[in-house]
Structure 1
Amino acid sequence: MRFSDLILGLLLLAGAAVLFSAASGLPPIPGQAYGADVFPVLTAAGLAACGFILAVGSVRAGPFPLAQATWVRTPGAGFRAAATIALVLAYIALTPLIGFVATATVVLTGLFLLVRVPLVQAIGIALATALFTYLSFNMLLRVPLPRGLVEGFLP
């Protein structure tokens, strides 16, 4: 389904408001100039800015149907939609068992292949993204992600 940018912009604005509201209740970190709310509030501000830009751009562009289901007629669209849902469910089920890096690499590779990225490129980008995400969360943000065999070799 293709939605109007006006609808997507309004949804982003609503999501930003919810995120900002939830983040404003997070407690401060003792002895720090910033608290646990900084990253979510900055994310909410970015979402709000994107939502505003989308909504204003849509209004300026003129009338457009609020929703179109033209993707349904594209060959293989149903398979790709089902495969995407299956990959997300596989991520949820497998991450605690085999760790974040291995699961994220497999899932991202599958998603890249669905959008016709060449296999070698898909594997490389997926592995780099999974490692970058793991190291960012583990080392910078100090948020533990599920560990597996691969994570045993990482800091």
Structure 2
Amino acid sequence: MRVSDLIVGLLVLVGAAALYAAASTFPPIPGQQYGADVFPTLTAAGLAACGLLLCLGSVRAGPFPLAQATWIREPGALPRALATIALTAAYLVLAPLLGFLLAASLVLTGLFVIVNVRLKVAVPVALATALVTWWSFAHGLRVPLPRGLIEGYL
């Protein structure tokens, strides 16, 4: 679906406002000049600037339909869209059972197959992507991801 930049810009502005509102509730850090709200507030300001630029560019470009669903006319587009939703739901079910690495690898492989990537390319890329993502979140950002069969060995 092709959506007008005006709609996208307005959605980005709403997201920026929500982020700013949430960041303003963060308590100050005692003894620190900067609090936990600084980075989210700066991010909200950047998002707001991008949203405004999108809205202004759309208004300057002239009239355009707010939304067009031209993708639906492509052969196989609807089954691919439904398969993407099904794979996302499958991840939600599989991740607690198999762990992040296996679930993400299986889902990514499925997504690659949907867009006609050959299996000999899809499987290693999916495995590498899942591993890099897991490593980044689990070790770099210290975000706990679902543990499974493989994560205990790493």
Unaligned runs of 5+ residues in structure 2 are none
Q: Which moved more, 1:56-65 or 1:70-79?
A: 56-65
The residue type equivalent to 1:99 in the other structure is G
TM-superposition CA deviations, 1:30-89 (whole Å, max 9, x none): 677765545544543443343333323322322211111212211111101111110111
How many angstroms apart in 1 are the aligned matches of 2:127 and 2:50? 29
Query: Structure 1 87/14 Cα, relative in aligned 2: closer, same or farther at 3 Å?
Result: same
Matches of 1:88 and 1:102, distance apart in 2: 14
The answer for the alignment partner of 1:64 in structure 2 is 64
Aligned residues with identical type, % of pairs:
69
Please identify the structure whose Cα radius of gyration is greater. Answer: 2
The CA distance in 1 between the partners of 2:151 and 2:95, in whole Å, is: 12
| 25-34 vs 95-104, greater mean Cα deviation | 25-34
Mapped partners of 2:65, 2:103: distance in 1: 39
Which range moves more in the overlay, 133-142 or 93-102?
133-142
CA RMSD of aligned residues (A): 2.4
3-state SS of the aligned residue for 2:15? helix
- Structure 2 length-normalised TM: 0.82
Q: Using the alignment, how far apart are the partners of 1:113 and 1:147 within structure 2?
A: 26
Q: 3-state DSSP class of the match of 1:60?
A: helix
Match of 2:23 in 1: 23
Q: Distance in 2 between matches of 1:36 and 1:103?
A: 33
The change in CA–CA distance for 1:121 and 1:62 in structure 2 (over 3 A counts) is farther
Please list every run of 5 or more consecutive structure 1 residues that lacks an aligned counterpart in the other structure.
none
**What is the rounded CA distance, in whole Å, between the counterparts of 1:131 and 1:28 in structure 2?**
36
1:149 Cα offset (Å): 1.5
Residue deviations 1:124-154, cap 9 Å, x none? 3322222222112211221111111121222
The correspondence of residues 1-150 of structure 1 with structure 2, limited to 5 A, is 1-28=1-28, 36-37=36-37, 40-150=40-150
TM-score (norm 1): 0.82
The count of residues paired between Structure 1 and Structure 2 equals 154
Distance 1:46 1:101, change over 3 A: farther
Query: Once structures 1 and 2 are overlaid, which stretch shifts more, 88-97 or 15-24?
Result: 15-24
The change in CA–CA distance for 1:80 and 1:28 in structure 2 (over 3 A counts) is farther
**Paired residue type of 1:71:** W
